Amino acid sequence: METLFVPEDFRVSQRIEQLNYILRPLTTVDVEKDYEAVMSSKQSLRQVFGQNDDWPDEHMTLQENERDLARHQTDFEQRRGFTYTMETLEGDICLGCVYIYPCDRGDYDAQVYYWVRDSAKAQGFEAELGVFLRHWLREVWPFRRPVFPGRDVSWQEWEALKNNTS
């Protein structure tokens, strides 16, 4: 029997409005806005998911991005993981993304990654999002111990946890 990431009766947030942005589930409808945000900030995004991560590829196509978004959308619909797009209040610009997925390292139960496009970082959105996420995960989600790899735990510590998992 497969272990559920979140309980069946847990109501997953569909739209979170903050003072300066909105979080909502990422879908393939967002492909063009997401692609523009990713490619405009590709150098700074290369360390979001790992110390030696090379995503996004220099020549990533819109179609490749759409496949990624389709995978995240399916994960969300099947409650295997939750990816949110962070967009302006008007919904016209993607400011970044948040990824919440199960974790099998250490005694963490969820691993959380997020990125903010370079132009939004300059406006303080990355720090604002980080503070919000920590509060939101603690107060709303059913996790005991979420982790932010590369932020709360160094990449070296994160890799060591992977090697110690049996």
87-106 tens-digit pLDDT: 999 999 999 999 999 998 99
Q: Between 65 and 123, name the one with better pLDDT.
A: 65
What pLDDT digit, counting tens, does each position of 4-24 carry? 899 999 999 999 999 999 999
d(CA 6, CA 80): 8
CATH number of the structural domain 16-164 = 3.40.630.30
Range of weakest confidence among 22-31, 60-69, 155-164: 155-164
Residue 64, CB-side half-sphere exposure with 13 Å CA sphere: 9
Q: In the chain, what is the straight-line distance between the N-terminal and C-terminal CA atoms, in Å?
A: 19
Mean pLDDT to the nearest integer, 47-57: 89
Q: How far apart are the C-alpha atoms of 116 and 38, rounded to whole Å? A: 9
